[in-house]
Amino acid sequence: MGGRLCYAVYPGDAAPALMTLDAKVKLATPSGLKELTIEQLVPGDMMVDGRIQSHVVRFNEIMTEIVVPPPRAGFKASFEKLRPRGVWDFAMASASLGLQLRDKTIEDARVVFGGIAGRPWRERSVEEFLKGKTLTTELAVQAPSNALGNAAPLKYNATKIDMAKGLLASGLTKLASV
């Protein structure tokens, strides 16, 4: 392939939210049904059937179903999106949060950023930081310092890191106050 590749962030809102909810997709393939997690479905830019694409669906496959498991008691979720115009616009950054709580203690956490990398970015370091802690507005202030520590922004998009951290704080603050 000649020339230079254009690198773009993953533009969708659905994949980060579905990752937070532990959703799976079913694909009809020539060899039968195949079930994938959203992380497996959208791993980032890769060569599939001679084309660069952000998903693994081949030319002879079709998505037939999205399976979202029912939330357990104590589950809270938030989706925050920063965009220059209305809801129809691509995210400059987004944060999808899912917390499994017992009272106010976080037993499990999912944190997925959108609009900042070539794929939805699951931030496991923040998930580990949150586990076992009490959900408070103070925690919402502390958590972003654990996010995106190894991020390597491109020349003109370093501000996306701060945007994502702000959205993380905003989402946690909202969840702490409900």
Burial 141-178 (b: 16+ CB within 10 A, else e): eebbebbbeeeeeeeeeeebbebbbebbbbbbbebbee
Each domain of the chain, given as residue ranges in start order, spans 24-67, 75-176
CATH topology for 75-176? Enolase-like; domain 1 (3.30.390)
pTM for the structure as a whole:
0.89
In degrees and rounded to multiples of 5, residue 140 shows phi and psi of: -60, -30
CA nearest to 162, candidates 95, 96, 109, 97: 95
Give pLDDT, residue 48.
85
Q: How far apart are CA 17 and CA 71, in angstroms?
A: 13
Tokens of 143: 């958590």
pLDDT tens across 49-100, in order?
888 878 888 899 999 999 999 999 999 999 999 988 876 788 889 999 999 9
